[in-house]
Structure 1
């Protein structure tokens, strides 16, 4: 039985934290074990826990934390924990300071689900590399730091739960055979007879594969609607 990797989320907005947790639970092999709201709560939990998390997802804008102070604290006292920052902050000096601390990744809000999948795949690739018993080669390190496969989901090792290859091919054929140029998750769910969340999972997967791109359609009321567009069609428009 495979042991699930533990993920802690530090985010003061419970709605955003729930979205991030749903994204994590869609990734094979990971589970959210703590949802924390403040830096103080996080530090106290780390002092008392019997099992440190493998990964921490943290915002920078939480009530009792200023800039990179919490990330700096975590890197200093818990160097084995991988940190992924998820923040709306784009100030160049702040981000430089964060990157210099040695984080695993930095995601700017709002972000697509597949972008978080890429960050977790980078973690898994690094984990596999350093668990091997032999010495590493230059090719091993090049595959970690420079390979384009970092940005793709490996066919031989399914990464996202709930992706059936047969269904995936059906979805792709809808676009490739020119049966449609663009779809929403709701439209796809009707075509393949699935729930909207399942349809969205396939569409987001294909965005991550650069097979589809997204665009927002603004109506007269309510939130904008996300449409998924075949990559070749999108570039022609």
Structure 2
């Protein structure tokens, strides 16, 4: 059974907090554990909790918080927590201070749900890389730091509809790391935090690009299961 990764939301407007929580719950594999309204409440909760969250979503405009002070506090005392800032703040000096603290992402309000999904996909990519690899390659790091293809720059506006370049790179990296293993659409959806249909869309796209090949696994009952395997290892299987 897959254990959902915990998320805390720090937002003083309960209506906005609910919208953000709904967005998170639409991302498979994540669950909102805490909705916090103030900096003081957050600091006390961090001190007393038995289980720190994997991700914190936080606004900057919180009544008892000045600028980047809360983000700085969390980064220094709880460096393992990934912080995604969601704020209407666009002042250059403040943004620079926040980025210098090493946050995972910054979303300017208002934003589209898909943008938050991409932030979580980046988290999953990092998590997968560090959990499953002893060493990294330059290609691994490029996939974390750059959204463009490492071979050529592609304008996302002209890319295939329904295919996000960042997500595509995550899927490709997963198969390259797995080497000789294969995956079903359901298994991939668990890894990238998407629906099964979305996972299948990326798989079928990569089949068309000859990056992946498919094979059918016949069970004792029902229809055969479609599995996907990295093209470079297909002959070995």
Shift in Å, 1:55: 0.2
Shift in Å, 1:97: 0.3
Shift in Å, 1:132: 2.0
Secondary structure (helix, strand or coil) at the match of 2:35 reads strand
Choose 85-94 or 130-139, whichever is displaced more. Answer: 130-139
Structure 2 residue aligned with 1:42? 42
Encode CA deviations 1:134-161: one digit per residue, 9 max, x unaligned: 2111111112112434255859533465
Encode CA deviations 1:196-233: one digit per residue, 9 max, x unaligned: xxxxxxxxxxxxxxxxxxxxxxxxxxxxxxxxxxxxxx
Structure 2 residue aligned with 1:93? 93
Q: 1:99 to 1:8 in 2, by over 3 A?
A: same
Shift in Å, 1:94: 0.1
Whole-angstrom CA distance in 1 between matches of 2:193 and 2:74: 29
Structure 2 residue aligned with 1:78? 78
Structure 2 residue aligned with 1:27? 27
Shift in Å, 1:74: 0.4
Whole-angstrom CA distance in 2 between matches of 1:147 and 1:87: 22
Structure 2 residue aligned with 1:118? 118
Whole-angstrom CA distance in 2 between matches of 1:130 and 1:161: 20
- Where does structure 2 lack aligned partners over 5 or more consecutive residues? 149-164, 173-184, 202-237
- Where does structure 1 lack aligned partners over 5 or more consecutive residues? 169-237
Q: Are 2:166 and 1:150 equivalent residues in the alignment? A: yes
Secondary structure (helix, strand or coil) at the match of 2:111 reads coil
Encode CA deviations 1:19-41: one digit per residue, 9 max, x unaligned: 00000000010000000000000
TM-score (norm 1): 0.66
Please list every run of at least 4 consecutive aligned residues from structure 1 whose deviation after the TM superposition is greater than 6 angstroms.
Answer: none
Q: Contact 2:29 / 2:193 at 8 angstroms: preserved in 1?
A: no
Whole-angstrom CA distance in 2 between matches of 1:164 and 1:141: 28
Q: Are 2:8 and 1:8 equivalent residues in the alignment? A: yes
Whole-angstrom CA distance in 2 between matches of 1:6 and 1:132: 20
Whole-angstrom CA distance in 2 between matches of 1:39 and 1:164: 39
Q: Contact 2:6 / 2:54 at 8 angstroms: preserved in 1?
A: yes
TM-score (norm 2): 0.66
Q: Contact 2:121 / 2:193 at 8 angstroms: preserved in 1?
A: no
